[in-house]
């Protein structure tokens, strides 16, 4: 992209790039002013180089305010994320960040259960770093080859439970089984989750059944990322319980589960 004084404002340096598995990449971006403002659950909106019209929204996986960096972990899903995966340390990237409404967090010494599914797992890491040993992190993947971030989660001091759909790593089966066990063992004050819609729905249903507050991070095809273009609509209930369309980029991506119309 042509460099001008406006584009410069959105241009940041990639400080490291690492491939985590066949599809997933970890990118650290040097962006002190963004890192200073970022909160768990927010996202960045990256414009890949090339003939792309839309930015790619990617959730924040790590916020390092001292180093002034944000880390994102994403999967190559199409041409745009492929182009982003070809960036290397020292390259620049066009980014709007931090965007969106993140998780609303209680005190650090609160028992929480964090549930990540597949590429929805990365935004759970800043939460695990915040709650440390008070957190239980349950992550679910298709199979062993898709597993990411388990060492990062272990390093936070959180209890980690790994599940795979085919049993090739960790426990066989869905994240909802260990979720219910953990709830029964000791009821948490909060459940936070990000991942495929059926998983979010199931986690929210369990949270509701046990009367535990639950915050879910949603995904939708997105445009501007700042709440103006209104394309990333999701159905939610307003204060009166009336159905409305709110927007993942501005009102979310994190919503209270009871607001969401599934």
Partner 1 sequence: MADLSVNICGIPFKNPIIPASGVFGYGREYERYYDLSKLGGISTKGTTGTKRTGNLPPRVAETPMGMLNSVGLQNPGIDAFIANELPHLLSCDTVILANIAGSTPEECAEVAAKLDQTDVHMIELNISCPNVKQGGAAFGTSCTAAAQVTKAVRAATKKPLCVKLSPNVTSITEIAKAVEAEGADALSLINTLLGMRIDLRTRRPILHNNMGGFSGPAIFPVAVRMVWQVANAVSLPVIGMGGVMSGEDAAELMMAGASAVQVGTAIVQDPYAPLRIIDELNDWLDSNGIDTAAELTGSVRAW
Min separation Cβ 246 and partner 1, Å: 10
Min separation Cβ 70 and partner 1, Å: 19
Angle, nearest 10°, between helix axes 197-209 and 176-185? 20
Residue number with CB closer to partner 1 (46 or 161):
46
Min separation Cβ 32 and partner 1, Å: 18
Residue number with CB closer to partner 1 (63 or 99):
99
Min separation Cβ 8 and partner 1, Å: 10
Residue number with CB closer to partner 1 (80 or 140):
80
Min separation Cβ 205 and partner 1, Å: 22
State the CB neighbour count (10 A cutoff) for residue 168: 14
Residue number with CB closer to partner 1 (88 or 142):
142
Min separation Cβ 12 and partner 1, Å: 14
Residue number with CB closer to partner 1 (60 or 224):
224
Query: In sequence order, what DSSP letters do the residues of the chain get, joined into one string?
Result: ----HHHHHTEEEEEEEEE-SSSEEEEEEE-HHHHHH--TT-EEEEE-SSS--S-EEEEEEEEETTTTEEEEEEE--SHHHHHHHT--TT-EEEEEEEESB------TTS-EEEEEEGGGSTTHHHHHHHHGGGEEEEEEESSGGG---HHHHHHTT-EEEEEETTSSSSEES-THHHHHHHHHHS--SEEEEES-HHHHHHHHHHHHHTT--EEEE-----SSSSSSS--SEEEEE-TTS-EEEEETTTT-BEEEGGGB--
Residue number with CB closer to partner 1 (80 or 195):
80
Min separation Cβ 225 and partner 1, Å: 9
Residues contributing to the site for partner 1 (CB under 8 A): 4-7, 9-10, 47, 51-55, 80, 94, 96, 220-224, 226-234, 243-245, 250
Give CA–CA dist 62/170, Å, rounded: 24
Residue number with CB closer to partner 1 (182 or 219):
219
């Amino acid at each position: 992209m042509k460099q001008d004084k406006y584009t410069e404002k959105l241009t940041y340096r990639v400080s490291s790039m690492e491939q985590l598995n066949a599809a997933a990449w970890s990118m650290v971006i040097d962006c002190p002013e963004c890192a200073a403002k970022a909160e768990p659950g927010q996202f960045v909106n990256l414009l890949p180089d090339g003939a792309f019209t839309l930015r790619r929204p990617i959730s924040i996986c790590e916020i390092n305010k001292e180093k002034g960096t944000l880390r994102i972990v994403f999967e190559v899903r199409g041409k745009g994320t492929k182009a982003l995966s070809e960036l290397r340390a020292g390259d620049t990237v066009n980014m709007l960040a931090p965007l969106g409404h993140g998780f609303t967090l209680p005190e650090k010494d609160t028992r929480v259960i964090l549930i990540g599914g597949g590429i929805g797992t990365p935004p759970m890491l800043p939460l695990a770093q915040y709650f440390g040993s008070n957190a239980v992190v349950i992550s679910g993947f298709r199979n062993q080859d898709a597993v990411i971030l388990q060492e990062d989660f272990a390093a936070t001091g959180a209890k980690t439970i790994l599940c795979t759909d085919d049993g090739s790593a960790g426990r066989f089966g869905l994240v909802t089984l260990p979720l219910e066990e953990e709830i029964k063992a000791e009821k948490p004050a909060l459940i936070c989750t990000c991942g495929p819609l059926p998983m979010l729905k199931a986690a929210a249903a369990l949270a509701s059944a046990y009367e535990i507050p639950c915050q879910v991070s949603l995904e939708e095809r997105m445009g501007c990322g700042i709440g103006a273009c209104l394309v990333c609509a999701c159905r939610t209930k307003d204060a009166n319980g009336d159905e409305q369309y709110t927007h993942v980029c501005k009102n979310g991506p994190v919503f209270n589960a009871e607001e969401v119309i599934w």
